[in-house]
Amino acid sequence: MPELPEVNTLAAALAIQLHNDSISSWHRLSPKLRKPIPDSAEAASVTGRRIKDVRRIAKNIFIDFGGRHFLKIHLGMTGYFCLTQKQPAVIKHAHLQLQLASGRTLTFCDPRRFGSLEITSLPAGRVVEPFSGELTPAYLKDACSSRECCIKALIMDQQVIAGLGNIYAAESLFKAGIRPDRPAGSLKPGELKKLCAACIEVIEAAVKAGIKSLDEHPRIDDQTTHFDIETLVYDQQNELCPKCRKSRIEMVRISGRSSCFCPNCQK
């Protein structure tokens, strides 16, 4: 499932490729993803308008046409775009096809159909994101205060921290030396400070890796969000801990998701 850095990479690639282009025609190929896909009449407010920018907010992509209405995209678990020089004959799992004024075709595909496409305005408010200047130890302390849920579940809550998913939450907790199943309210000020710094460091490193993976004219397809990142604990069950070299990585289930940690390094 694409997390914040992967979504950010796709948004950056789309911003480069779509700048000053426009949608000349809107073709809904299937009516429904997680939400109903707008038809061409509902998309009239963004059709024919020059694309000014593409931005990311949390795990959502917003295509900016310079007006009140934006095309909002959520990739869900398996969503991706394909940008081709001409209209392709067949693209598997295609749900929306946009003919661009440049003659190119932008197709949204989603095998598992958990993504969504909406014509909407920008959100009035934003949830704190895991970046320097936004996420602070004081904010994290308030969020954790008296909470009995696991710390990993809390930092993955999209209403608490926007964009932090399973991979980067696991890596952040490993870097901070905190077990993922610790009650959130049990963390001490020093631990919260370490966790805050770890979340920011892990996300910012991944965002930089994603941007670095793009060419001057990036290809947009199902591989755009796939780039090399260093994971020390995620999906490393039974492997020797890369930090202490003493314990094997263990796995617990938290909110239905696997969560790997080192029982020696994370307390």
Nearest C-alpha neighbor of 202 from the set 253, 250, 167: 167
Q: How far apart are CA 97 and CA 106, in angstroms?
A: 6
Report the length, in residues, of the chain.
Answer: 267
The answer to whether the Cα torsion of 194, 237, 213, 102 is positive or negative is negative
Beta bridge partners of 71: 63, 119
Catalytic site residue from 2, 5, 130, 180:
2
For the chain, state the CA radius of gyration: 20
Catalytic site residue from 55, 113, 243, 257:
257
- DSSP secondary-structure letter at 123? P
Nearest C-alpha neighbor of 54 from the set 132, 96, 106: 106
Identify whether 2 is a catalytic site residue: yes
Identify whether 257 is a catalytic site residue: yes
Identify whether 59 is a catalytic site residue: yes
Distances (CA, A) of 48 to 65, 84, 99, 108, 161: 9, 19, 10, 18, 36
Q: How far apart are CA 9 and CA 128, in angstroms?
A: 19
Contact partners, residue 152, CB within 8 Å, separation at least 6: 169, 170, 173, 180, 181, 254, 255, 259
Identify whether 230 is a catalytic site residue: no
Catalytic site residue from 5, 6, 38, 59:
59
Nearest C-alpha neighbor of 43 from the set 20, 21, 66, 27: 27
Active centre residues (catalytic): 2-3, 59, 257
